[in-house]
């Protein structure tokens, strides 16, 4: 028998252990590859969005109609440097592509959109506009824009066209990157949990193989050679398992790509572009390194030391915990925040098994007989299964926190949406009609309920010195400011905020803008509208969930007469009238038949759909991680308890019936997983607070109220107890088997009595 065959024979005797290792590596690779692929793709998309349209402007038609290829030809023949930009949105997971015409782009020189060197406009998401047009006719949704260089003189524009800024979304600062950093952190947590689980299973196996190693040593095989073969064995296993994991990860990314793309678009107005498939080298190398490091980071293993010793000491862990908590509380940069979270997790990971074991040992001092034995055995189990226990604790805490975040957001969002959608109907004002005709008609309508006019546009923020270095923001003008808006809950407000807003004596800003620019009630804000600068006090800050742009809310009378809104609509409560009559009356006043009236419910449904898409990925990752951790603990628990079967059979020697012995084991297993759930709870609640109060404002621009969901805690506790019950049932089967040979007694996994 060769050395390798002798070593590998362990897995012939314990195929389940091999299966557990393989399963963990495959699942973890799948998860991490999926997350990595999506975030990588999103980063490219963010970069493309910023790079591609930085400082560009476009030509639009005066009549509001979309531009066409005929407009392009007319403008080029008029001597203007114009290039077409056809964005085609394809159904998931294909992603968005941009059709460009390299010939037309030559007149831009180095200023061409997307220019970043010699490979400008080359490769995904860019493709020839002819191909993009073909995609748009095959089910994609294409939007054509005509870009012009910054140097174009507005006075030289042909009649019928005007200049507009060109961007793929509002200025969102670093929010997009923060969002991805969030996902990265989630991915790192997945890696950490994987490493803990793999290490624990592997260490368990090494303990079982101690006798084999000792035998080999007696035959004269050097320890280094054994170590080398073990390394090769694990490297081969990792390589074999990483490959299907990579493939499954890609599949997962494709599956979640649609929801993820929608989330990016909803949160940051950044589409997920079609980009190259991305390399597999990084995920493969990272997984390989994690698995090998987890297994071989501590070479003392080869000296056949008993399994899992906890890294570090509890005083160091306590210091780490305090430092981590302080960092999380006071960090203003997401990177430091994550560092603090990592410290807290490491400290908790070190302290939890020690604390649980100590508690069980302490409780064992009281009581007598079986009770004392159970608690002491529980203390042994906590020490022996320290790593999977911590892994499950982390996974449960993560699930608790993410669930709380999503539920909190869902509830807050619903309340907020309810306030925002106070009116029953929303009528979009068509292009080419006089808004005043509609206002006049509604003013004279007896029996009509509350209504107001909404005008949306853009405003340029200015600093006090008049330097236009600040970003553009959305403008949201309402007239009259009435009961449909004054019920909004403001985050902070000056006295008489609504009445002063109605009088045009100030503005309100959304939370995103307030956080970004540091506005508070009482501050003044200067913004430019159609060439005129205005300085008004900030009267309040309102919540504005689910979108990235900064926004100013003002009364309609503040707008200059020449203000050109981008979107105009009426919010209407029909009161005693039938909405259909009101709609027909408005259509008649404007002399048009094409009038869109949307009811409250349809907008609610739309918003809920957006919400679900936004958190699809987050939910998927957490649930899959929990499945990974739960399955691993199940396998680990089973393997571990199997190694102690000989010991549990002694219960029969002590006079317990088989049923009574099985009950003892059930108690042990359920106590183990139940305790894990209990210690995960404070960590989960703390993590919830971190997500809503610390990470969310940094990553998304808005905060959420802190809320806890005890119902879900019970649900998680139930799942953990179920895992314990399943372990005990499996153990029951083991106990019914044949009595092992006495020689096995000193092979004794764990070695503790």
Partner 1 sequence: MSRHLNAHCPVLLALCLMLAACSDTPEPAGFAGLGADVTEEAFAQPARGDDLRFPDDFGPHPDHRIEWWYLTANLTTDEGEPLGLQWTQFRQSLVARNPLTPAPPAHRWPLEAGWMAHAAVSFREQHWFAEKLARGGTGQAEARARPFEVWLDDWHLQATAPGHWRLRVRDQGWSYDLRIQVEGDPVAHGDRGFSAKTAGGEGSMYFSLVDLAIEGEVTIDGMTHAVAGRGWFDREWSSQFLKAGQQGWDWFALHLDSGDKLMAFRLREEDGGYLSGSWVTPERAVIPLAAGSFSLEVTGQRQTGAGTVPVQWRIRVPQQGVDVTITAPPGQYWNDGLFPYWESPVSVRGSHRGDGYMELTGY
Chain residues binding partner 1 by CB under 8 A are: 68-70, 72-74, 76-79, 84, 86, 99, 101-104, 106-107, 122, 127-134, 137
Nearer of residues 118 and 746 to partner 1, judged by Cβ: 118
Answer whether 620's CB lies under 8 Å from 256's CB: yes
Give one word for 155, left, alpha or beta, with left for phi > 0 and alpha for psi -120 to 50. alpha
Radius of gyration of the chain (CA): 32
| Min dist. Cβ of residue 605 to partner 1 (A) | 34
Closest C-alpha among 306, 314, 95, 73 to residue 204:
306
| Min dist. Cβ of residue 86 to partner 1 (A) | 7
Answer whether 425's CB lies under 8 Å from 574's CB: yes
Answer whether 234's CB lies under 8 Å from 209's CB: no
Answer whether 100's CB lies under 8 Å from 128's CB: yes
**Token pair of 717, please?**
């506790």
| Min dist. Cβ of residue 292 to partner 1 (A) | 43
Nearer of residues 107 and 595 to partner 1, judged by Cβ: 107
Closest C-alpha among 544, 483, 534, 532 to residue 505:
534
CA distance 433 to 589: 9
Answer whether 144's CB lies under 8 Å from 117's CB: no
| Min dist. Cβ of residue 95 to partner 1 (A) | 19
**Token pair of 739, please?**
């009595």
Nearer of residues 73 and 277 to partner 1, judged by Cβ: 73
| Min dist. Cβ of residue 257 to partner 1 (A) | 25
Closest C-alpha among 190, 648, 201, 624 to residue 386:
201
| Min dist. Cβ of residue 99 to partner 1 (A) | 7
| Min dist. Cβ of residue 131 to partner 1 (A) | 7
E strands in 377-529 = 425-428, 451-462, 472-479, 490-493, 507-510, 524-529
| Min dist. Cβ of residue 44 to partner 1 (A) | 20
Query: Strand 532-542 and strand 490-493: pairing?
Result: antiparallel
Nearer of residues 73 and 318 to partner 1, judged by Cβ: 73
| Min dist. Cβ of residue 49 to partner 1 (A) | 21
Nearer of residues 135 and 539 to partner 1, judged by Cβ: 135
What lies within 8 Å, CB to CB, of 649 at 6+ separation is: 661, 735, 739, 740
Nearer of residues 99 and 324 to partner 1, judged by Cβ: 99
Nearer of residues 105 and 541 to partner 1, judged by Cβ: 105
Nearer of residues 130 and 447 to partner 1, judged by Cβ: 130
CA distance 517 to 53: 24
**Token pair of 21, please?**
């290792």
**Token pair of 15, please?**
């195929």
Answer whether 320's CB lies under 8 Å from 332's CB: no
Nearer of residues 85 and 700 to partner 1, judged by Cβ: 85
Q: What is the 8-class DSSP label of residue 690?
A: I
Nearer of residues 103 and 362 to partner 1, judged by Cβ: 103
Nearer of residues 127 and 587 to partner 1, judged by Cβ: 127
**Token pair of 595, please?**
């009038």
| Min dist. Cβ of residue 67 to partner 1 (A) | 12
Nearer of residues 91 and 109 to partner 1, judged by Cβ: 109
Report the half-sphere exposure of 297 (CA within 13 A, side-chain side).
14
| Min dist. Cβ of residue 139 to partner 1 (A) | 15
| Min dist. Cβ of residue 144 to partner 1 (A) | 9
Answer whether 97's CB lies under 8 Å from 273's CB: yes
Number of H helices, E strands in the chain: 25, 16
CA distance 628 to 252: 15
Write the CA distances from 66 to 59, 137, 394, integer angstroms.
10, 17, 52
Nearer of residues 131 and 530 to partner 1, judged by Cβ: 131
CA distance 326 to 164: 47
| Min dist. Cβ of residue 509 to partner 1 (A) | 43
CA distance 617 to 186: 11
């Amino acid at each position: 028998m060769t050395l390798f065959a002798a070593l590998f024979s362990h897995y012939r005797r314990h195929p389940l252990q091999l299966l557990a290792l393989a399963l963990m590596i495959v699942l973890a690779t799948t998860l991490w590859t999926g997350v990595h692929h999506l975030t990588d793709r999103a980063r490219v998309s963010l970069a493309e969005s910023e790079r591609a349209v930085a400082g560009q402007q476009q030509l639009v038609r005066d009549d509001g109609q979309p531009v066409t290829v005929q407009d392009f030809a007319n403008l080029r023949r008029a001597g203007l440097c114009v290039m077409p930009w056809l964005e085609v949105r394809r159904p998931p997971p294909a992603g968005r592509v941009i059709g460009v015409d390299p010939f037309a782009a030559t007149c831009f020189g180095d200023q061409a959109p997307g220019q970043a060197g010699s490979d400008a406009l080359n490769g995904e998401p860019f493709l020839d506009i002819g191909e993009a047009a073909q995609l748009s006719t095959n089910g994609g949704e294409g939007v054509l824009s005509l870009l012009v260089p910054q140097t174009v003189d507005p006075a030289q524009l042909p009649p019928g066209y005007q200049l507009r800024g060109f961007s793929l979304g509002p200025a969102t600062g670093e929010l997009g990157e923060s969002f991805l950093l969030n996902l990265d952190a989630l991915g790192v947590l997945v890696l950490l949990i994987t490493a803990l689980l793999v290490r624990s299973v592997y260490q368990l196996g090494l303990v079982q193989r101690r006798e084999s190693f000792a035998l080999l040593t007696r035959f004269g095989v050097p320890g280094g050679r054994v170590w080398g073969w073990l390394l090769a064995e694990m490297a081969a296993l990792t390589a074999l398992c990483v490959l299907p994991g990579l493939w499954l990860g890609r599949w997962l990314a494709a599956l979640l790509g649609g929801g993820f793309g929608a989330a990016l678009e909803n949160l940051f107005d950044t589409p997920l572009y079609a980009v190259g498939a991305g390399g597999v080298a990084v995920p493969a190398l990272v997984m390989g390194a994690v698995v090998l490091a987890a297994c071989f980071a501590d070479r003392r293993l080869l000296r056949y030391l008993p399994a899992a010793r906890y890294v570090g000491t509890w005083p160091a862990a306590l210091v780490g915990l305090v430092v981590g908590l302080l960092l999380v509380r006071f960090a203003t940069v997401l990177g430091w925040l994550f560092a603090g979270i990592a410290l807290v997790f490491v400290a908790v990971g070190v302290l939890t098994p020690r604390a649980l074991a100590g508690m069980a040992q302490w409780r064992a001092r009281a009581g007598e007989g079986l009770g004392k034995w159970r608690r002491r055995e529980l203390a042994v189990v906590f020490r022996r299964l320290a790593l999977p226990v911590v892994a499950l604790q982390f996974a449960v805490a993560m699930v608790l926190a993410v669930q709380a975040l999503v539920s909190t957001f869902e509830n807050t969002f619903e309340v907020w949406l309810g306030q925002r959608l106070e009116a029953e109907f929303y009528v979009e004002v068509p292009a080419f009609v006089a808004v005043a005709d509609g206002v006049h008609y509604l003013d004279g309508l007896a029996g009509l309920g509350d209504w107001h006019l909404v005008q949306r546009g853009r405003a340029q923020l200015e600093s006090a010195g008049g330097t236009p270095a600040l970003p553009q923001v959305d403008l949201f003008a309402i007239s009259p400011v009435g009961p449909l808006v004054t019920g909004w809950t403001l985050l902070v407000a000056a006295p008489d905020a609504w009445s002063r807003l109605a009088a045009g004596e100030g503005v309100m800003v959304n939370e995103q803008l307030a956080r970004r620019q540091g506005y508070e009630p009482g501050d003044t804000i200067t913004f430019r509208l159609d060439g005129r600068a205005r300085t008004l006090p900030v009267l309040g800050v309102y919540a504005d969930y689910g979108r990235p742009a900064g926004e100013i809310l003002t009364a309609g009378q503040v707008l200059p007469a020449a203000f050109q809104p981008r979107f105009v609509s009426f919010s209407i409560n029909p009161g005693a009238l039938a909405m259909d009559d009101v709609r027909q009356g408005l259509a008649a006043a404007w002399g048009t038949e094409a009038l869109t009236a949307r009811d409250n419910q349809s907008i609610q449904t739309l918003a809920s759909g957006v919400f679900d898409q936004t958190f699809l990925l987050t939910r998927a990752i957490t649930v899959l991680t929990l499945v990974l951790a739960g399955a691993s603990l199940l396998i680990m628990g089973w393997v571990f308890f199997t190694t102690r079967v000989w010991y549990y059979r002694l219960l029969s020697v002590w006079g317990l019936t088989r049923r009574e012995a099985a009950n003892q084991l059930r108690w042990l297993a359920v106590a183990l997983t139940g305790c894990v759930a209990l210690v995960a709870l404070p960590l989960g609640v703390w993590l919830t607070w971190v997500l809503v109060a610390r990470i969310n404002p940094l990553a998304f621009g808005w905060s959420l109220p802190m809320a806890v969901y005890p119902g879900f805690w019970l649900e998680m506790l139930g799942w953990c107890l179920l895992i314990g019950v399943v372990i005990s049932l499996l153990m029951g089967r083991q106990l019914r088997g044949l009595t092992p040979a006495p020689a096995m007694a000193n092979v004794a996994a764990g070695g503790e009595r």
